[in-house]
Amino acid sequence: MSDDITKVLEKWDYRLGRVDARRVMGEDGVEKLQLRIDLGLLQMNAQFRPDGKRPFGHPTLLDHFLIRLEKHRKENGGEDDNFQINPDECAKLQQEAIQYHHRSICNFELADYEAVERDTEHILELLDFVQDFAPEEEIGQSFQQFRPQTIMLQIRAIGTELIAASNYDAAINEINNAIEELNQFYTEMGREELVDSSMEAHSLREWLKDVEKEAAEKKPMTRREKLQHKLSNAVQREDYEAAAKLRDQLAKLPESKEN
């Protein structure tokens, strides 16, 4: 069998600015995810490590290091002060984080939000681990470049699921928490200027407005709220005669019975 993938690419055009992903079944019987890029495609296993490897016999490289950490703690009275990973190990963990990031993007495009939550949680745990145990503070901080986009992707998945279930209050709460988490992150990193200007925070604030608007439109309204909504629309279209009638109706509503 030829290793040339030209025919595959010819049947799947690359579209600039679009995330094109699909599921396929591998010849090994394992489900794969494919992401179309300009010069070809990325292929990843749908479960466990995206590259299909089992570092040191474990599902992920992070799992391997967490087991090492637990062993160190048992041997040192529960302390981990002297535990450390070297720069080469940090680089390999970064590679794993990037793999999981690519798969998160694919799964979001394919609306597999549970998988997005799973993979982004792995990335965030990995970032925390490196920050705690990297040999140099600069290495740990360099990994933090992945945190804002990971938080945004994770909350997009969580929020989308909640909205699909018409649980708008929970979705709004989750988005607000994510915005606050981003603000706290930028403040702790000494980048306060990004609190208002970062792409991730801006994107979530705009989404929050859309969700709040949709929630307001779908929320059952009292008689007073319905009249107030009609009044607002009348004022916007400068129908002052209708607005005056609506104000009269509002004034006649009993204060204690709005339904």
- The answer to whether the beta carbons of residues 195 and 221 sit under 8 Å apart is no
Residues pairing with 41 in the sheet: 36
Q: How far apart are CA 32 and CA 46, in angstroms?
A: 5
Residues pairing with 40 in the sheet: 37
Residues of the chain with pLDDT under 70: 1, 256-259
Q: Hunting for tokens 């901080």 — which residue is that? A: 141
In this prediction the pTM is 0.82
- pLDDT of amino acid 85: 96
Residues pairing with 31 in the sheet: 25
- pLDDT of amino acid 189: 86
Handedness of CA 196, 200, 202, 204 (dihedral sign): negative
- pLDDT of amino acid 225: 78
- pLDDT of amino acid 144: 92
- pLDDT of amino acid 256: 53
In the chain, the amino acid numbered 51 is: D
- pLDDT of amino acid 1: 60
CB atoms within 10 A of CB 237: 9
- pLDDT of amino acid 259: 46
